[in-house]
């Protein structure tokens, strides 16, 4: 689509509205003359008046709000007055000659609208797939952050469990909406965002996941998740992974109100998945594994030394040495956050001022996150203008723990934590394992090794809305934001990393500062009008732009004498060859959007969106890309023939679109050279190939289709929403490996396709409902599956290359979630060796990668939430449990810490099952290989286990009151709520979770007061 | 109505203005990168890309290591690697896995540079006569072809067979396409033919336009890019011909040796005036700063170097990584006093400036290889040069070729070099004297091992300590398997 096409479209939009203005009908009898006014008493132009049951008899008001309705049929009639954005009014016509009707502005409740961030749409006329949750709904689940609560409410959204970083408060979650994007192979580092992360929109503007995580949950008015192509198309290619739209609570007119909410929680580490050996077990295991047996056959001094070591340890163990290292770096923490908000004003002007503070300590000592925020909101309305301004600031301070949790998990239980005199030894074992000694993690914990980060953001956003012409509205938004993030790390010269370094090379201080300055803006022209009783048309045209400048500077210096002076001034300078880091980047984007929507008789709805995106991604061959979507919906319950009384609402939806190519498509095909800043010569600048051009590369094209059903019955007692999607990406963009002799080891090419499909749904039943009591059951479910098509054998070499190391394979019909391995029949009781099953079904001891088959899939058959909610008067409660079944997992703890314990790993603590479940002597029916076998075992189906999980994700109990005694202390209303999150989990696989940082459980409380 | 029309017009104007101007607004430059089409739109860009290859040749996996001072000299038994767990211990024992690992990164890097050369060659054709004038076209294309041949030849020496033993064996893939793709592994005969073919083309292109033919090295800094000066730091016409002589000598059949002799003699007669041997004053620093100064010594004997790569961090990348006496015993490459005395029996030998008597970290006496120690000398490039090919090799090639037909000429060529290095003439044992001269002349330049390989030497001396017995060599010791990363793609 070219620029001129857009202009023509815009022009035709404008003309259409002009033509639709006048329709003169000759005067006849039974005529009503009247005027339609708004609440301020001004005439409303463009309002539709018609006779109920005779929809063809109707007219609309002129620019002063006057109308003349003729040919009104005989008898008493009902007249309907309606206008977009206004509540419909019905009056009785008994032959009167004139009337004055006042239309009120529609107070849309959250259930009725879809907040897309650019345009707010009526849910009834929306054909896409989107779900909206209010701030209260989120708070019933949890009070820590929006995304955690959203995960429980929205079945299609998933937070990928971070097995490495567990419950680290400083690690941002990895989010997916409707599974993973279709990319084969690794992404280039140029693609800065996490590939599956959705787009976040806060009050209409794009923000980072950090901003959303830092947002105090009490400020949230609503969160909308946009899932299919029809609803995300307005954001173009950025929105390929879905969009999460967050709106904050605006100030309300009225007397000055003060509200306070506080959240208090206790968080404690969850070590239930750890299954480490105690001192006695570890020593026994080491003995059986042959650590104390000399390799030389005859009796030797070496054997004597090993015997001595063993018996000294045994003695210590018998004396009661059994160190439980895991608990050492951990703590139970008390976290709290507070939000104070003052708002008020009159009909013309409203204001709100808020401050918030949050303190989130991690369960590992030394990890912290502090958030201070403030916001000022002003809204002013005069005539056809509305102006609003939002100012926000936030300051986040965070620090990281000095030693990884895994070092504590690795420490042997037969070592003493402390010397008899109470001092902490630095060395646990004074021997070299591959050149490394084993250090006491407890001692390391006390050696300064800090990493602090502070992040300050100021942002301001201005909106101006002008209802400038009849059915036209123009809205302009301008936002600026400045963020600076500074990090400082210091590693003490006493740290063992520096043992052996020269005095002027001990200790390390590094700092970096990143500043982001961004501005963005948007202009939206909206047109919405009812034509007669049947035709409801609205259209929007928007232009937006955004620009972000990033500057990053940093350096590291070394050579410190102690821990007192951590200032770089006290260092001895740079390491040789080091230089300061400095980089600046600018990224810009702009987009044009056309969005039109037509509804006939509120029964048939049509949506169409087209967006043209331009971005400054470096190396892009084509600057602009277009995305489109179209949707239709049929509201069956509005059909005249539909007479099923008990069904309140029944709507079918279908949408299709190409949900944008990711940014990375834009520069894949171009060749890029990079300058060499490190080496120079006397011949001036030099540059070498960073990426080779591939001019034949086609863009990845996806067709995303969505079928949906919305259903409510028995006066809202049953509510069902189901979506099914089918995404076909053809061709795929595949990054394939080449031999190094090709000059590049990784190139992108087009190959085959991928089909992803899945469904998700929400089912709510109100089991019991009286005036004061309500008992509801909610059930959500989701499934996401995908497979490759038309790949043929072109990626066969990648399959071969990966065998026995990686689990993913590329075949037609294979899924990216599949796990491939050679089938195993377990351990032979006679020999302790593993028996494999060949492709032909024969037994063998011989591992052969060619025998591999699909042994499982990481994608669960079904996952979701089962919950119960209950309220009775002022009391309410909710329980939500997550279930996941039908998937498999590669049990890496079994593989690494039970089966494959190498000679070096014998020096570290391992899983208890390495002692009890490994083969020891002929006749043992063991699950794992011989205990003294230190060789590496290839991956086989033995480590692929069914992964069924049931988690008690949230329990909350709340109480609302506006009791009289409260009013005496000037509190208008109060609510209190208690939560327990993730406090119980049952899983079919016993796996270590949280390797560098443990997971945690929490119990918390929130209090809200309105003064 | 009037006012509405104004709105409409204003809207349309605003939108179209926005559309037209946003293309410019979206064009954002990158500081550290440039798009291919943008780069090759003028002559300067071609030289930037070409210089990219020259700058990268100093990579630790290429001439600052695997193709120069580290692996080949370890393989040639220059250094003592007998310490327990010495980094190069298993390589010096010709263990297969160590051999594979040692060259694996060089393989990857060299082919990346070859791809760079191929890209420039691709653009040369489209730019010929439009963007590039005849001189620039000849020089750029000639140098690129030469570099492509040079890098292939370095890999060929590693991965190819001992040519005179099994010329039909598999060698390396020859990449002459600019799109990354899997190319077949060629037989040694085919690969050699391609290398010589590229060198031939390079020589004829450079022969047309290379200023080295009339001006020599032309070591004058003209400011800017020095496009036509410092030819000894570019793969110039003489260097290409000398390389062709080296390749032919390496192939070793009679016809090749004839060709090698012809080329070597040509280079000697055409280039000797521009690339004379270093005088003692030049080596001692007297010529550079007017006084004998250790920190101004021209230890690489730079004058006769036909082509060297230029590494501004030579000391850090080479000396401090392999040779500095402050290195741990397990990383240090050094020789014993005994080895040194046997290597340089004559005290006045100019090449003794490349060695220094010192102690290692354990206090043992060693001879430390200081040829590539960091230094700074105003107006001189030799503190940054790593020689790739030099005139002296032409004399040795000529001497070796004459050895079986004209003793007089053979000794004349050899003694000319020996005298230039301030050592006495010899008149017996021509071949073993040539071998010894290779040992002395190319320490740190990685040529000796290939001399052994082309002659399929059954036993070689432990240069680092002559009190040790010679090391017996099998043909397998001379041949390298393809790197794991490459082998995985080939059946």
Rounded Cα gap, residues B84 and A100, in angstroms: 103
For residue A674, the distance in angstroms to the closest alpha carbon of chain B comes to 4
**Mean pLDDT (whole number) for A613-632:** 77
Spatial neighbors of B287 by CB under 8 A, at least 6 apart, are: B279, B281
Range among A462-471, A524-533, A996-1005 with highest mean pLDDT value: A996-1005
Pairing, β A98-102 against β A32-37:
parallel
Residues of B (346-385) whose Cβ lies below 8 Å from A: 381, 384
Q: How sure is the predictor about A110, in pLDDT bands with cuts at 50, 70 and 90?
A: low
Q: What percent of chain A has pLDDT over 70?
A: 91
Mean pLDDT of chain B: 92
Residue B411 buriedness (CB in 10 A; 0-12 / 13-18 / 19+): buried
**DSSP for residue A139:** H
Interface test with B, best of A548, A742, A748, A798 (most B CBs within 10 A): A742
**Phi, psi dihedral angles at B302 (to 5 degrees):** -75, -15
CB A417 within 8 A of CB A424: yes
pLDDT-based confidence at residue A293 (cuts at 50, 70, 90): confident
**Residue A25 confidence (pLDDT) above 90:** no
Answer yes or no: are the C-beta atoms of A236 and A627 closer than 8 Å.
Answer: yes
pLDDT of B18 reads 62
**Does position A21 have pLDDT exceeding 50, yes or no?**
no
Q: Looking at the predicted structure, is the pLDDT value of residue A425 above 50?
A: yes
Residue B169 sits at the chain A interface (C-beta within 8 Å):
no
Q: Are B36 and A693 a contacting pair at CB < 8 A?
A: yes
* Residue range B221-241: mean pLDDT, rounded: 91
Residue pair A221/A248 in contact (Cβ under 8 Å)? The answer is yes
Which range has highest mean pLDDT (A144-148, A450-454, B193-197)?
B193-197
What is the enclosing helix (H) or strand (E) of A12?
helix A3-19
Among A272-286, A761-775, A923-937, the range scoring the smallest mean pLDDT is: A923-937
Assign A15 a pLDDT band (cuts: 50, 70, 90): very low
Instruction: In whole angstroms, give the CA distance from residue A282 to residue A263.
Output: 43
Residue A166 has a pLDDT of 80
Check residue A22 and give its pLDDT. Answer: 42
Pairing of strands A773-789, A54-60: unpaired
| Predicted local confidence at residue A428, as pLDDT | 80
- Average pLDDT for A775-799: 82
A191 versus B350: which is more confidently predicted?
B350
Give residue A19's pLDDT.
Answer: 39
For residue A392, pLDDT beyond 70: yes
Touching check for B49 and chain A: CB below 8 Å? yes
Residue A189 has pLDDT above 70, yes or no: no
Instruction: State the pLDDT at residue A720.
Output: 94
What integer pLDDT is reported at residue A102 of this predicted model? 86
Q: Tens digits of per-residue pLDDT, A63-90? A: 888 888 888 888 888 888 887 777 788 8
* Mutant choice from B55, B126, B311 vs A, greatest count of A C-beta within 10 A: B55
Q: How confident is the model at residue A13 (pLDDT cuts 50, 70, 90)?
A: very low
- Count Cβ atoms below 10 Å from residue B467 Cβ, excluding itself: 9
Percent of chain B at pLDDT exceeding 70: 96
Which residue among B7, B15, B30 sits closest to A618, beta carbon to beta carbon? B30
ipTM: 0.91
> Are B114 and A747 an interchain contact pair (Cβ–Cβ within 8 Å)?
no
The string over A64-103, giving b where at least 16 C-beta atoms fall within 10 Å of a residue's C-beta and e elsewhere, is ebebebebbeeeebebbbbbbebeebebebeeeeebebeb
Question: Tokens 């590229």 sit at which residue?
Answer: B198
Instruction: Check residue A9 and give its pLDDT.
Output: 44
**A126, A340, A144: which is closest to A224 by C-alpha?**
A126
Asked whether residue A136 carries a pLDDT value surpassing 50, the answer given is: yes
- Each residue's pLDDT tens digit, B85-114: 899 999 999 999 999 999 999 999 999 999
Residues of chain B neighbouring A689 (CB-CB closer than 8 A): 36, 52, 112, 115-116, 119
pLDDT confidence of residue A24: 44
CA–CA dist A79, A82 (Å, integer): 10
Query: A560-592 as b/e, with b when 16 or more CB fall inside 10 Å?
Result: beeeeebebeebbeeeeeeeeeeeebebbbbbb
Does position A182 have pLDDT exceeding 70, yes or no?
no
Contacts of B405 by beta carbon, 8 Å cutoff, 6+ apart: none
CA A110 to chain CA centroid, nearest Å: 22
B18-69 pLDDT per residue, tens:
666 667 777 777 778 888 888 999 999 999 999 999 999 999 999 999 999 9
Residue A3 has pLDDT above 50, yes or no: no
| pLDDT tier, B426 (very low <50, low <70, confident <90, very high otherwise) | very high
- pLDDT band, very low/low/confident/very high, at A487 (cuts 50, 70, 90): very high
A307-354 confidence digits (pLDDT tens):
888 998 899 899 988 989 988 899 999 999 999 999 998 888 999 999
Q: Which residue from A415, A215, A171 is spatially nearest to A312, judged by alpha carbons?
A: A415
Asked if A840 and A848 touch (Cβ cutoff 8 Å), the reply is: no
One-character DSSP codes across B31-54: SSEEEHHHHTTSHHHHHHHHHHHH
Q: What is the C-alpha radius of gyration for chain A, rounded to an integer number of angstroms?
A: 33
Q: What domains can be seen in chain B, in order of their start residue?
A: 3-279+387-490 (1.25.40.390)
Question: Is the distance from CB of B278 to CB of B286 less than 8 angstroms?
Answer: no
pLDDT at site A778: 93
| Residue of B9, B21, B36 to mutate when probing chain A, most A C-beta within 10 A | B36
With bands split at pLDDT 50, 70 and 90, how would you rate the model's confidence at A968?
A: confident
The pLDDT tens digits of the residues spanning A522-572 come to 999 998 888 877 888 889 999 988 898 999 999 999 989 888 888 888 898
C-alpha to C-alpha distance for B466 and B343, rounded to whole angstroms: 9
Interface touch B35/A671, C-beta < 8 Å: yes
Q: pLDDT-derived band of residue A982, with 50, 70 and 90 as boundaries?
A: confident
Q: Tell me what the mean pLDDT of segment A271-282 comes to.
A: 88
Contact A7 B381 (CB under 8 A): no
Band of residue A516 on the pLDDT scale cut at 50, 70, 90: very high
A536 Cβ contact partners less than 8 Å away, ≥ 6 residues apart? A84, A125, A529, A530, A598, A599, A600, A602
For A497-514, write each residue's pLDDT tens digit: 887 777 788 899 999 999
Summarize the confidence of residues A101-129 as an average pLDDT.
79
pLDDT of residue A804: 46
- Mutation target for B interface from A4, A384, A539, A687: give the one with most B CBs within 10 A: A687
- Identify the H or E element spanning A652: strand A647-657
B328 touches A at CB < 8 Å? no
- For residue A740, the chain B residue with the least C-alpha distance is B108
Comparing A15 with A658, the larger pLDDT belongs to A658
What does the alpha-carbon distance between residue A88 and residue A105 come to, in Å, rounded to a whole number?
Answer: 9
Whether the per-residue pLDDT at A27 is higher than 70: the answer is: no
B341 pLDDT higher than 90:
yes
Q: What is the pLDDT of residue B2?
A: 61
Query: Does the beta-carbon distance from A740 to B23 stay under 8 Å?
Result: no
- B179 reaches A (C-beta below 8 A): yes
Q: Nearest CA to A361 among A397, A415, A313? A: A397
Q: Output the pLDDT for position A432.
A: 54
pLDDT at A717 > cutoff 50: yes
Query: Taking 80 as the threshold, does the pLDDT of residue A797 lie above it?
Result: no
**Does residue A17 carry a pLDDT above 80?**
no
Which of the four pLDDT bands, split at 50, 70 and 90, describes residue A808?
A: low
Name every chain B residue with its beta carbon within 8 A of the beta carbon of A800: 488
% of chain A with per-residue pLDDT over 90: 27
The band of A435, judged by pLDDT with boundaries at 50, 70 and 90, is: low
pLDDT at site A191: 40
């Amino acid at each position: 689509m070219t620029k001129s096409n857009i202009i023509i479209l815009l022009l035709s939009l404008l003309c259409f509205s002009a033509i639709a203005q006048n329709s003169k009908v000759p005067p006849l009898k039974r005529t009503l003359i009247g005027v339609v006014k708004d609440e301020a008493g001004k005439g409303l132009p463009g309002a539709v008046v018609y006779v109920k049951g005779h929809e063809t008899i109707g007219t609309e008001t002129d620019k002063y709000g006057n109308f003349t309705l003729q040919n009104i049929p005989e008898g008493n009639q009902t007249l309907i007055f309606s206008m977009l954005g206004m509540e419909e009014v019905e009056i009785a016509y008994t032959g009167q000659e004139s009337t004055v009707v006042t239309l009120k502005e529609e107070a849309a409740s959250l259930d009725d609208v879809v907040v897309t961030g650019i345009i707010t749409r009526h849910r009834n006329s929306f054909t896409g797939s989107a779900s909206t949750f209010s701030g209260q709904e989120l708070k019933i689940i949890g009070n820590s952050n929006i995304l955690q609560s959203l995960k429980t409410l929205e079945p299609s959204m998933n937070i990928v469990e971070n097995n490495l970083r567990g419950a680290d408060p400083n690690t941002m979650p990895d989010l997916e909406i409707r599974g993973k994007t279709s990319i084969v192979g690794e992404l280039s580092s140029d693609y800065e965002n996490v590939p599956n992360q959705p787009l976040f929109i806060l009050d209409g503007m794009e923000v980072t996941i950090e901003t959303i995580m830092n947002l105090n949950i009490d400020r949230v008015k609503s969160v909308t998740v946009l899932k299919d192509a029809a609803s995300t198309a307005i954001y173009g290619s950025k929105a390929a992974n879905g969009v999460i739209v967050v709106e904050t609570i605006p100030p309300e007119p009225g007397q000055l109100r003060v509200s306070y909410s506080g959240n208090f929680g206790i968080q404690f580490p969850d070590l239930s998945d750890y299954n480490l050996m105690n001192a006695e077990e570890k020593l026994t295991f080491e003995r059986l594994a042959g650590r104390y047996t000399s390799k030389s056959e005859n009796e030797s001094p070496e054997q004597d030394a090993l015997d001595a070591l063993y018996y000294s340890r045994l003695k210590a163990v018998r004396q009661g040495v059994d160190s439980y290292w895991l608990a050492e770096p951990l703590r139970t923490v008390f976290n709290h956050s507070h939000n104070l908000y003052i708002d008020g004003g009159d009909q013309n002007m409203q204001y709100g001022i808020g401050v918030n503070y949050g303190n989130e300590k991690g369960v590992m000592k030394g990890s912290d996150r502090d958030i201070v925020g403030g916001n000022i909101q002003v809204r002013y309305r005069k005539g056809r203008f509305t102006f609003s301004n939002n100012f926000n600031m936030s300051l986040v301070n965070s620090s990281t723990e000095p030693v990884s949790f895994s070092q504590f998990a690795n420490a042997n239980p037969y070592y003493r934590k402390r010397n008899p005199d109470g001092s902490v030894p630095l060395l646990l074992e004074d021997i070299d394992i591959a050149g490394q000694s084993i250090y006491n993690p407890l001692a390391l914990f006390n050696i300064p090794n800090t990493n602090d980060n502070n992040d300050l953001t100021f942002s301001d956003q201005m909106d101006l809305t002008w209802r400038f012409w009849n059915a036209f509205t123009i809205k302009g938004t301008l936002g600026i934001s400045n963020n600076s993030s500074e990090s400082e790390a210091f590693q003490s010269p006493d740290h063992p990393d520096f043992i052996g370094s020269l005095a002027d090379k001990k200790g390390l201080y590094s700092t970096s500062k990143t500043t982001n300055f961004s501005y963005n803006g948007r202009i939206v022209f909206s047109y919405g009008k009812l034509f007669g009783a049947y035709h409801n048309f609205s259209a929007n045209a928007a232009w937006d732009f955004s620009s972000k400048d990033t500057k990053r500077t940093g350096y590291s210096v070394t050579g410190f004498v102690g821990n007192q002076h951590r200032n770089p001034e006290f260092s001895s300078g740079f390491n040789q060859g080091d230089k300061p880091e400095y980089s600046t980047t600018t990224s810009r984007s702009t987009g044009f959007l056309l969005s039109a929507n037509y509804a006939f008789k509120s029964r048939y709805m049509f949506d169409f969106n087209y967006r043209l995106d331009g971005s400054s991604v470096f190396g892009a061959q084509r600057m602009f890309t277009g995305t489109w979507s179209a949707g239709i919906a049929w509201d069956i319950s509005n059909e005249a023939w539909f007479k099923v009384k008990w069904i309140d609402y029944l709507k079918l939806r279908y949408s299709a679109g190409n949900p944008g190519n990711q940014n990375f498509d834009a520069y894949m095909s171009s060749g890029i050279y990079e300058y060499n800043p490190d080496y120079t010569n006397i011949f001036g600048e030099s540059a070498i190939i960073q990426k080779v051009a591939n001019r034949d590369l086609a863009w990845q094209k996806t067709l995303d289709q969505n079928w949906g059903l919305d259903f409510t019955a028995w006066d809202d007692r049953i509510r069902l929403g189901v979506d099914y999607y089918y995404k076909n990406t053809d061709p795929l963009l595949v990054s394939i490996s080449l031999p190094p002799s090709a000059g590049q080891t990784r190139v992108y090419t087009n190959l085959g396709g991928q089909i992803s499909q899945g469904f998700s749904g929400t089912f709510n039943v109100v089991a019991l409902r009286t005036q004061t009591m309500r008992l509801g059951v909610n059930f959500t479910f989701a499934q996401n599956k995908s497979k490759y098509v038309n790949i043929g054998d072109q990626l066969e070499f990648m399959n071969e290359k990966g065998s026995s190391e990686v689990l993913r394979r590329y075949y037609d019909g294979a899924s990216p979630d599949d796990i491939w391995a050679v089938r195993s029949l377990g351990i032979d009781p006679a020999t302790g060796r593993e028996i494999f099953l060949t492709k032909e079904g024969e037994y063998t001891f011989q591992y052969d990668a060619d025998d591999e088959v699909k042994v499982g899939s990481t994608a669960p058959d079904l996952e979701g939430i089962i919950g119960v909610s209950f309220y009775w008067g002022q009391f309410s409660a909710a329980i939500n449990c997550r279930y996941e079944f039908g998937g498999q997992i590669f049990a890496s703890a079994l593989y690494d810490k039970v089966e494959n314990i190498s000679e070096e790993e014998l020096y570290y603590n391992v899983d208890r099952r390495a002692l009890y479940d490994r083969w020891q002597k002929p006749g043992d029916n063991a699950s794992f290989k011989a205990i003294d076998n230190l060789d590496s075992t290839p991956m086989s189906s033995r480590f692929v286990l069914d992964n069924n999980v049931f988690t008690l994700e949230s329990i909350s109990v709340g109480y609302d009151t506006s009791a009289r005694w409260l009013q005496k202390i000037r509190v208008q209303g109060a609510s209190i709520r208690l939560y327990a999150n993730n406090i119980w989990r049952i899983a079919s696989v016993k796996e270590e979770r949280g390797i560098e940082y443990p997971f945690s459980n929490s119990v918390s409380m929130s209090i809200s007061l309105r003064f | 109505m009037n006012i509405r029309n104004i709105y409409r017009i204003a809207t349309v104007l605003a939108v179209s203005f926005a559309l037209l101007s946003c293309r410019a607004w979206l064009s954002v430059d990158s500081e550290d990168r440039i798009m291919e089409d943008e780069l090759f739109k003028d002559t300067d860009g071609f030289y930037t890309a070409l210089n990219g290859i020259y700058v990268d040749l100093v990579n630790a996996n290429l001439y600052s290591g695997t193709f120069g001072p580290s692996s080949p000299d370890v393989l040639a038994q220059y250094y003592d690697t007998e310490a327990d767990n010495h980094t190069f211990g298993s390589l010096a024992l010709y263990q297969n896995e160590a051999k594979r690992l040692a060259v694996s990164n060089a393989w990857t890097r060299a082919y990346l540079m070859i791809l760079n050369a191929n890209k420039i060659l691709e653009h040369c054709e489209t730019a010929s006569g439009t963007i590039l004038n005849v001189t620039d076209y000849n020089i750029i294309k000639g140098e690129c072809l030469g570099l492509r041949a040079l890098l292939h030849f370095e890999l060929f020496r590693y991965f190819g067979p001992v040519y005179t033993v099994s010329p039909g064996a598999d060698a390396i893939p020859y990449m002459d396409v600019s799109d990354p793709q899997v190319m077949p592994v060629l037989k040694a005969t085919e690969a050699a033919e391609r290398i010589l073919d590229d060198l031939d083309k390079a020589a004829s292109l450079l022969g047309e336009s290379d200023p080295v033919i009339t001006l020599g090295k032309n070591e004058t800094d003209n400011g800017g890019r020095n496009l036509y000066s410092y030819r000894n730091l570019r793969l110039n016409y003489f260097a290409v011909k000398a390389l062709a002589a080296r390749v032919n000598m390496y192939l070793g059949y009679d016809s090749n040796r004839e060709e090698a002799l012809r080329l070597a003699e040509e280079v000697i007669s055409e280039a000797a005036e521009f690339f004379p041997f270093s005088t003692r004053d030049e080596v001692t620093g007297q010529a550079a700063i007017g006084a004998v100064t250790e920190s101004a010594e021209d230890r690489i004997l730079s004058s006769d170097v036909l082509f060297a790569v230029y590494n501004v961090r030579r000391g850090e990348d080479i000396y401090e990584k392999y040779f500095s006496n402050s290195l741990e015993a397990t990383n240090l490459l050094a020789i014993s006093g005994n080895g040194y005395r046997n290597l340089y029996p004559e005290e006045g030998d100019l090449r003794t400036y490349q060695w220094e008597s010192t102690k290692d970290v354990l206090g043992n006496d060693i001879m430390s290889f200081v040829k590539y120690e960091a230094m700074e000398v105003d107006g001189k490039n030799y503190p940054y040069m790593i020689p790739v090919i030099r005139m002296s090799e032409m004399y040795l090639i000529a001497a070796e070729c004459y050895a079986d037909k004209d003793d007089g000429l053979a000794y004349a060529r050899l003694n000319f070099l020996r005298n230039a290095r301030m050592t006495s003439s010899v008149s017996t044992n021509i071949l073993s004297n040539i071998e010894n001269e290779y040992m002395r002349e190319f320490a740190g330049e990685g040529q000796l091992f290939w001399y052994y390989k082309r002659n399929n030497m059954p036993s070689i001396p432990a240069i680092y300590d002559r009190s040790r017995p010679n090391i017996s060599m099998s043909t397998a010791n001379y041949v390298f398997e393809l790197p794991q990363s490459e082998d995985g793609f080939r059946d």
